[in-house]
């Protein structure tokens, strides 16, 4: 009897770009991809944070390339990606949130969130895809979305709108790029404890609401995302594209 072989999770000889790598989920993704063999390029607006991360990774025997990148500047995205060798893997974790009641939304806040979360994610994904296509290479492009890209939430109308849009363009791009063997997916986390989200968790009322919605009765941590990004980046997910990997502790099961 011929037995099947488990596809490899190894990322050896793969080049990965992680945008928004200076903290939180992006940082966790960078570590995970490097641990599974990828050559990583970490990108963010804050060069000092990138240098600190690079030094910490070096202590673990992981070498990195650094790229200062503000995804809100689409012209800079194209310039940066076009001067670099093609990336086999993209993790787009750059994002911002400005929460308020929908009736109190400020236009400037709306524009800021959409510029980074939607426009930046879209054009970074397409810039990396074009380089892969020109090199006739396959790839795995991963956008860090949110459970709020699948449902709504209080004080999150703008953020949720931006992430619903990410879900939409990811599916459409996956259809277009399938023939080039370029896969495009999202990861949709629940509330993950990071420096950015700590103020939310420090609010007892908000923490109670979050825990009431997560069926596993605990908040998320960065480590909960790390295995998922390795899976989607690797050959273990070779037939997955245009999909959302939801890591929400059962939030959206209702």
**Catalytic site residues?**
159
Distances (CA, A) of 205 to 23, 185, 191: 26, 33, 15
HSE (side-chain half, CA atoms, 13 Å) at 32: 24
Contact 109, 159 (CB under 8 A): no
Separation CA 220–CA 223 (nearest Å):
8
Separation CA 231–CA 249 (nearest Å):
18
Separation CA 114–CA 97 (nearest Å):
10
Residue labelled with tokens 């709504």: 152
Separation CA 248–CA 192 (nearest Å):
9
Contact 126, 223 (CB under 8 A): no
Q: Kindly give the interhelix angle for 47-59 and 24-35, rounded to the nearest 10 degrees.
A: 30
Q: What letter does residue 2 receive in the DSSP assignment?
A: P
């Amino acid at each position: 009897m011929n037995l099947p072989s488990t596809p490899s999770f190894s990322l050896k000889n793969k080049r990965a770009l992680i945008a928004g790598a200076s903290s939180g989920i992006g940082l966790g993704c960078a570590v995970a991809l490097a641990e599974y063999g990828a050559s990583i390029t970490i990108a963010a607006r804050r060069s000092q944070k990138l240098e600190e991360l690079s030094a910490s990774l070096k202590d673990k025997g992981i070498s990195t390339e650094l790229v200062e990148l503000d995804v809100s500047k689409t012209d800079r995205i194209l310039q940066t990606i076009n001067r670099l060798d093609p990336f086999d893997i993209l993790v787009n974790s750059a994002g911002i949130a400005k929460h308020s009641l929908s009736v109190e939304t400020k236009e400037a806040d709306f524009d800021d969130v959409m510029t980074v979360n939607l426009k930046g994610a879209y054009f970074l994904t397409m810039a990396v895809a074009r380089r892969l296509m020109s090199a006739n290479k396959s790839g795995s492009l991963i956008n860090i979305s949110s459970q709020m890209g699948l449902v709504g939430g209080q004080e999150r109308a703008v953020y949720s709108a931006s992430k619903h849009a990410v879900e939409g363009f990811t599916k459409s791009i996956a259809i277009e790029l399938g023939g080039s063997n370029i896969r495009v997916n999202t990861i949709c986390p629940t509330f993950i404890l990071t420096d950015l989200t700590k103020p939310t968790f420090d609010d007892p009322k908000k923490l109670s609401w979050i825990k009431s919605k997560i069926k596993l009765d605990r908040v998320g941590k960065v480590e909960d995302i790390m295995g998922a990004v390795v899976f989607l980046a690797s050959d273990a997910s070779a037939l997955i594209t245009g999909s959302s990997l939801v890591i929400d502790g059962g939030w959206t099961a209702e």
